[in-house]
Amino acid sequence: MDRLRAALARWGDRLLFRLFTAGELARARPGQARPQRLAARFAAKEAVMKSLGVGWRGVGWQTIEIRTDPQGKPTVVLHGSARRVADDLGIAEVLVSLTHSGALAVASAVALRR
Please write down the HEC assignment for all residues of 33-79. CHHHHHHHHHHHHHHHHHHCCCCCCCCCHHHEEEEECCCCCEEEEEC
The stretch 21-33 carries a mean pLDDT of 81
Domain that holds residue 62: 2-113
Length of the chain: 114
CB 73 within 8 A of CB 43: no
The stretch 31-36 carries a mean pLDDT of 75
> Which domain CATH number covers 72?
3.90.470.20
- Residue type, position 15, single letter: L
> What is the H or E stretch that residue 9 is in?
helix 2-11
pLDDT tens digit sequence for 45-86: 999 999 999 987 789 999 999 999 999 999 999 999 999 999
Please count the structural domains in the chain. Answer: 1
